[in-house]
Amino acid sequence: MSAAVSWSKPPGLDQTQHRYQISYHCPGTEPHIITTSSHSITLSDLQPATEYSVTVCTVLENGKRSQLVSTTLTTVPPAPDQLNVASMDTTTAAVSWSQPPGLDQTQHQYQISYHCPGTEPHITTTSSHSITLFDLKPATNYSVTVCTVLENGRQSQLLSTTLTTVPPAPDQLNVNSVKTTSAAVSWSQPPGLDQTQHHYQISYQCPGTEPHIITTSSHSITLSDLQCSSQYSVSVCTVLENGRQSQPVSATLTTIMPAPDQINVDSVKTTSAAVSWSQPPGLDQTQHHYQISYHSWDVKYFLLQTS
């Protein structure tokens, strides 16, 4: 920590050899004494957030000294260290920082300022090393600064960072129709994104498989190439242009079993008839059986099951 002090040359010494003696100290310590022929000096190795008494006098070659001129200065407190964004969601963000060195015995607090472009900053103070910022706008960039503040109001340099709040998740994820190998899903645009460029990422998978991922700017999509008679997990999230994603919204769906194909009446007798059909595609690895229903016009249904 350092401080620059300066003074004016006293009148009447243009032809007289002289120099200046500077003395400085903080309460309870021995003074440091420096001499210089300049009219300014930088005092080094000062303690942060500390008041110093500084005196300067003129010294002639014979050692004769002038009256002292005095001033006081208070060194700047050190800035907080390691400003981190610990967590975020759509409308809040938790930020934290480390206590600066040298302030263990000094009363101080921290001033936090945050704003998004085109708005007035919000300013709050805390004695803690972390704070949660509330009432933020979703999917918005914020500038955040923190500084150390002493009891006398003296402030440190600013420590800065930026954060982007999480976009809101899509709303009302619906499975509109399900077929044997496809399904249509839709959702509502989340609130607060009318002026924000965004798209949606859709992920779907059945157990034991890698997810399929699709992006779209629409509010609906048809998932194709599904396996018949299979359960799928589907999730949709909002994605900003910078890649920031919302929390996903999820649903499950089960595709329909395919119907038997090519049903044939092979033979008909007086009291019996032989019928056959082809196995529907896609069920080679799936346990299944068939249900047969038949009736005449004046009797109720008969049901049979066969594998």
Say whether both 218 and 283 belong to one domain: no
- C-alpha 58/C-alpha 297 separation (Å) is 127
Please count the structural domains in the chain: 4
Whether this model's pTM surpasses 0.85? no
Say whether both 145 and 122 belong to one domain: yes
Query: What pLDDT does 280 receive?
Result: 79
Say whether both 147 and 184 belong to one domain: no
Say whether both 250 and 175 belong to one domain: yes
Pairing of strands 93-98, 81-88: antiparallel
DSSP state of 296: -
Query: What pLDDT does 254 receive?
Result: 95
Do 291 and 307 meet the contact criterion of CB atoms below 8 Å apart? no
Query: What pLDDT does 303 receive?
Result: 64
Q: Which residue, 164, 199, 214, sits at the end of a domain?
A: 164
Say whether both 88 and 157 belong to one domain: yes
Say whether both 189 and 244 belong to one domain: yes
Q: Residue 209 maps to which CATH number?
A: 2.60.40.10
Say whether both 229 and 295 belong to one domain: no
User: Alpha carbon of 61 to those of 10, 19, 33, 123: distances in Å?
Assistant: 16, 8, 17, 56
Residue pointed to by tokens 């003696």: 21
Q: pLDDT 10s digit of each residue in the chain, 307 long?
A: 899 999 998 888 888 899 999 999 998 899 999 999 999 999 988 988 888 999 999 999 899 999 999 999 988 899 998 999 999 999 999 999 998 887 888 889 999 999 999 999 999 999 999 999 999 999 999 999 999 998 888 899 999 999 999 999 998 999 999 999 999 999 999 988 888 899 999 999 999 999 999 999 999 999 998 998 899 999 999 999 989 999 999 999 999 988 888 889 999 999 899 989 888 777 777 788 888 888 877 656 556 676 6
Closest CA to 59 of 93, 21, 31: 21
Domain residues for the domain of 179 are 171-254
Q: Which residue, 147, 164, 181, sits at the end of a domain?
A: 164
Say whether both 120 and 69 belong to one domain: no
Q: Which residue, 74, 89, 124, sits at the end of a domain?
A: 74
Closest CA to 52 of 77, 23, 79, 81: 23
Q: Is 195 helix (H, G, I), strand (E, B) or coil?
A: coil
- One-letter-per-residue 3-state SS of 135-184: CCCCCCEEEEEEEEEECCCCECCCEEEEEECCCCCCEEEEEEEECCCCEE
Query: What pLDDT does 14 receive?
Result: 82
Query: What pLDDT does 151 receive?
Result: 87
- C-alpha 226/C-alpha 209 separation (Å) is 12
Say whether both 8 and 61 belong to one domain: yes
